[in-house]
Structure 1
Amino acid sequence: RAGGALPWGWISLIAGAALLAFVAWRFGAAWLLKKLGGHALTLLAATIVIFLLLQVVPGDPASYMMGLNASPESIAALRQQMGLEGSGLERYFAWLGDLLTGQFGTSYTYQVPVGGLIAERLAVSAPLALMATVLSLIVALPIGVTAASRRGTAVDTGLIGVTQVGVALPNFWIAMLLILLFSVNLGWFSAGGFPGWSAGFWPAFKALILPAVALAAPQAAILARVLRTALLDTMNEDYVRTARAKGLSVNQALWRHALRNAWIPVLTILGLQFPFLLAGGIIIENVFSLPGLGRLVFQAITQRDLIVVQSVVVVLVFAVVLVSFLIDLAYLFADPRLRGRRA
């Protein structure tokens, strides 16, 4: 906190409270409570599964983290540091209480608070995922609409072929091609690394452009195909045929009526893609040497730092639940018919 500015935690809380108040006013408190309750149960069930998999099933986490040659004294000290002295149920509720207060523990490898470590890595992964999502939408929208409006033509066939190639190509191969072209040959971008946001917005943003393109290319191809299929299905609905009978052209009916109703499957795919981009960019982060969340998980697994792995997985599950809630809201805005159902 500097210069009297509000910290990001308080800004997030204020923004979240404002969003919840608006949702309760717009769609009803009953709908909001139902959704929040369902997502809270999902998050609670996820914490149980994560705890069982990482602390109970493997046996003694401290012995696993210290390795085969560790002394009993070192293992006992680590067990005490990790709070492994009580029963599994006691340990779970103690861990859950720490999560609710934002205490993720201390990293065994880095010897720093895990919360700060995750926040530092999220400052790279979250903007990268957001950039890739926005870029995939910008690319997918014109491709999907053009292909649907020219169904059966050479343009449609060509665009389908392009999206098929985009789906088939792995993003790490695209990343290496981007490095060869724009870094090695043209010299427009660096081949890897991240200067940090403290170095200025443009240097940090520029370092994320090529990784975002590599992540967005396959996702844009998937979105474009989904959007094309949804538009073609919507164009066969009675209300679109009625609009056509009243004199609207194919493009007018598509843009005015079909596109908005075709957003539902697109929003569903976006809700699935964003958490994947948040941590699924582990290969891309390694290719570009980015200190992101995916790379942190990879390093924590190789270094047997279960505390970090457990905390990062919880954060990712929370991100999935949060995105699912936001997608539910987007459904209501995209399809007015759902507002009456409060689905």
Structure 2
Amino acid sequence: MPGFLLNRALQYLLTAAAASVIVFALMQLLPGSAAQVALGTEATPEAVRALEAQYGLDRPWPVRYFEWVGGMLHRDFGTSYVTGAPIAPVIADGIQVTLIVVIASIAVALALAVPLGALAALYRSRPLGAVIGAASQVGIAVPSFLAGILLVMVFALGLRVLPASGWAAPIEGLGAFASHLVLPVTALALVQAAILTRYVRSAVLEVMGRDFLRTARAAGRTRTGALVRHGLRSAAIPVVTVAGVQLAALLVGAVVVEQVFVLPGIGSELVRAVSNRDLVTVQGIVMVLVLAVLVLNFIVDLLYPVIDPRVRRGA
């Protein structure tokens, strides 16, 4: 077990280091000076040089790279060339909102997908299995932003039971927080539940054909009882793997839903930074997204030995 965790941690640390080099290099390879971009095309050469000197942009790339990485290790992402404000508080506020929405969405998606996928496998030759399969196909075909727009039309504009947009922090009251969370979470969760339902169905069908499940049936257990008692843990590994991939995709792709519901998440901050040509903020946000994806995948790896002891023994 320690060897397994150490190996995975080392892999993710190396990946994070490589990603930081790539992100920094891509920002530097963009045409034009970052100071020129921040000041605009009308800025004089003297003003550009003054801004470059102020933020150290006239120093060599390696020096600036290691200063940037060292700052991140101390939770300092630098200062925006456009606003002159520190970047770290903007990123911290945005990532909190995005993580709340994304984690709540994947939790709801799994709560729907696991029982529905298992039912679709158990009743694959019956109308219930066909209905679940058809519903999951429709869910996969509907983009999250379209689901969000439809939900707003029905529950915000039509029934007027939920707010159409905006955000309320938990300290502002759990009622307001939950009401603003329902629609964006539902928009993301429905699509993810449809995707995960297909994988749960396939995993359960594969497990149902194994010898140990047939032995449990021969010992007198019902098909459902044998599956719940012995089969779900074996089916969990591929489902957890796919859920981890979808969680990472949700984190990066939540920008669209944040725009639909006007959420102050990290995706909205990224769009704002791009539109303002605030390259240093873009650099910091992209790196935080990369690190968040790596952390989430590491957490998924930590679940493998818990779900399947063979992973622990093989480490």
Which band: TM-score by shorter chain? over 0.9
> Cα deviation per residue 1:246-284 (whole Å; 9 max; x = unaligned)?
222211121111111111111112211223323311111
Equivalence for 1:273: 246
Equivalence for 1:199: 172
Equivalent residues in 2 for 1:4-153, closer than 5 Å: 27-28=1-2, 30-153=3-126
CA drift of 1:328 comes to 0.9
**Alignment counterpart, residue 162 of structure 1, candidates 135, 144, 163:** 135
The separation in 2 between residues aligned to 1:176 and 1:286, in whole angstroms, is 11
* DSSP 3-state at the match of 1:70: coil
Aligned residues: 315
> Cα deviation per residue 1:52-108 (whole Å; 9 max; x = unaligned)?
111235453222333322221232233234422221222211211111111101123
Equivalent residues in 2 for 1:179-198, closer than 5 Å: 179-198=152-171
- Which structure 1 segments of 5+ residues have no match? 1-26
CA drift of 1:166 comes to 0.2
CA drift of 1:109 comes to 3.6
> Cα deviation per residue 1:132-162 (whole Å; 9 max; x = unaligned)?
1111111111110110111222211111110
Equivalence for 2:277: 304
**Bigger relative contact order, structure 1 or 2, given CA contacts below 8 A and separation 6+?**
2
Which deviates more from structure 2 when the two are superposed, residues 111-120 or residues 52-61? 52-61
Amino acid at match of 2:271: F
Equivalence for 2:312: 339
- Asked if structure 2 preserves the Cα contact closer than 8 Å seen for 1:54 and 1:310, the reply is yes
- Asked if structure 1 preserves the Cα contact closer than 8 Å seen for 2:68 and 2:78, the reply is no
Q: Does residue 246 in structure 1 map to residue 215 in structure 2?
A: no
The separation in 2 between residues aligned to 1:47 and 1:270, in whole angstroms, is 25
The separation in 2 between residues aligned to 1:46 and 1:308, in whole angstroms, is 16
The separation in 1 between residues aligned to 2:65 and 2:22, in whole angstroms, is 11
Give the TM-score taking structure 1 as reference length: 0.88
**Alignment counterpart, residue 225 of structure 1, candidates 198, 216, 237:** 198
> Cα deviation per residue 1:223-264 (whole Å; 9 max; x = unaligned)?
110000011011111211222222222111211111111111
Cα distance change on mapping 1:81 and 1:262 into 2, 3 Å: farther
The separation in 1 between residues aligned to 2:175 and 2:79, in whole angstroms, is 33
Give the TM-score taking structure 2 as reference length: 0.95
The separation in 1 between residues aligned to 2:174 and 2:181, in whole angstroms, is 11
> Cα deviation per residue 1:28-56 (whole Å; 9 max; x = unaligned)?
3x333222211110100000110111123
Equivalent residues in 2 for 1:249-328, closer than 5 Å: 249-328=222-301
- Which structure 2 segments of 5+ residues have no match? none
* DSSP 3-state at the match of 1:262: helix
- Asked if structure 2 preserves the Cα contact closer than 8 Å seen for 1:105 and 1:113, the reply is yes
CA drift of 1:198 comes to 3.6
